Amino acid sequence: MLTRDVILLSFHNLFLHKVRSFLTSLGVIFGVGSVIAMLAISEGAKQNSLSQIEAMGIDNIIVFTKKPSIGSKGDSEKGTIEKFGLLEIDLENIKKMQNIKRISTVTNTRKKITNGLKQLDLYLVGVDLSFLKDTHSNLTIGRWFSKLDFKNKQLTCVIGKNVKQKLFNFNSENIIGENIKIESNRFKVVGIVENDINLKIAGVGFVNNMIFIPTPTSENLYGQYSFLREGRHSFKIMNIEYDTFLIKIQDIRFIHNTAKRIKSYLDKSHADVKDWDIIVPYELFKQKEQTQRVFSIVMGSIAGISLLVGGIGIMNIMLANVYERRKEIGTRRALGAKKRNILIQFLIETITLTSTGGLCGIALGVAIAKLVAHYAMWPTNFSSLSIILSFCISGFIGVVFGTYPAWKAAQQKPIDVLRTE
């Protein structure tokens, strides 16, 4: 027989039993679909979590003020003074350490920001010139602070993108030059900042929810004291010099040693109370990367098992198919068909079923991942390699699990088959 005739006969038999062919392919469809969907979801989660850590700066060390459970307190006439956190002397001493390129400070003024009578979850913070670069944020409109703003302690501010939505009630595209009144001070808006992944600064809050002012301006207006009302007739005073240090490292190869030196210094200088904490994004990045790699392997293995089950199902059905078509096989052998013709015919049928199931499974997996991304707000990331590999595996399953049924069909003896029929 010609190879073309064998192929046409294989497709004829598949289309002759459409429902059975579809049901046979279901195992591969769901197997490939689950592989594509699981890998896309796990890869999306991996990229999202790693980008969050990367945004902190792989070459950064973040030290931030943490309120102690039991702190040193002193009484004042009108309330209670709480003094804790990072100090100016800490800043100066850490700057002198080896492998420190620069330190960008963040100070939360803890001023209430309202829109009418409603208090908003926004933060007025004093920052350095290098803050924009160190947090990988971008200016969308206007400008960042100049050296003159710092030198002259100007009442200028740059706002995060969420501040515009929450604080300004009018639909104005350009709010540069508008004023924001906080208590008795008016700050002129000179720029808008956006952080693409909504980075959260440890010890303060989200970058997109911040109103930034120069650190000298913050110190001049508010000093180190924050007045927080606890009740109708009582309040407390918090004395915090700095909330966060963003420490830029010169050589990332020695970041672990640098972090150890900083920890050792802070342990000694804040021996009375643990009012600080430290984050090393590089260490978090490596740990998260390893965890996500294991997670992807586990997810892929679980999905691979469903592919294996689908392959076994196909082999089982094809073996039953061989038994049902013994008369056809015997007749063809009696008319001169060779064993290899029968073998190729059944192998083509199996590979066609698994390959078609693979294509449908890819479409199903993409659809599932898209639905998860849309309704669960979970990021997904499709890899062309995983799609191609899944399709190749589906074809490979057809070869592996179709070879035995095809061989079984080819071994049928025409005389014995026709006698039994």
First vs last C-alpha separation in the chain: 24
Tell whether the torsion through CA atoms of 91, 92, 97 and 102 is positive or negative. positive
- 352 close to 402: Cβ distance less than 8 angstroms: no
CA distance 162 to 193: 9
How far apart (Å, rounded) are the C-alpha atoms in residues 6 and 223? 88
Residue 294's contacts (CB-CB under 8 Å, 6 or more residues apart) are: none
Q: Are 350 and 14 in contact (CB under 8 A)?
A: no
Quote the pLDDT of residue 372.
83
Q: Identify the pLDDT of residue 186.
A: 93
Those residues whose C-beta lies under 8 Å from the C-beta of residue 370, and which sit 6 or more positions away, are 380
Tokens standing for residue 11: 């497709």
Could you give the CA distance from residue 218 to residue 153 in angstroms, rounded to a whole number?
A: 8
Q: How far apart are CA 23 and CA 360, in angstroms?
A: 13
Cβ atoms < 10 Å from Cβ of 38: 24
Q: What's the CA dihedral at 140, 210, 189, 245 to 10 degrees?
A: -90
Provide the token pair at 43.
């890869």
Question: 281-324 and 18-56 helices cross at what angle (nearest 10)?
Answer: 170
- Range 179-216 burial, b when 16+ CB lie within 10 A, else e: ebebeebebebbbbbbbeeebbbbbbbbbbbbbbbbbb
CA distance 236 to 197: 35
Q: What angle do CA 378, 384, 386 make, to 5 degrees?
A: 75
What tens-digit pLDDT sequence spans the chain (421 residues)?
Answer: 556 766 776 677 777 777 777 877 787 888 888 888 877 887 777 666 666 666 666 778 889 998 887 544 444 444 467 788 899 999 999 999 999 999 999 999 988 888 877 888 899 999 999 999 888 889 999 999 999 999 999 999 999 999 988 888 655 667 899 999 988 899 999 999 998 878 888 888 899 999 999 999 999 998 866 655 555 555 677 788 899 999 998 888 888 889 999 999 999 999 888 889 998 877 666 666 677 677 767 766 776 777 777 778 777 777 777 777 777 777 777 777 777 777 787 788 888 888 888 888 889 988 988 888 888 777 788 877 778 877 887 778 777 777 777 777 777 776 766 666 5
Please state, in angstroms and rounded to a whole number, the distance separating the CA atoms of residues 346 and 352.
Answer: 10
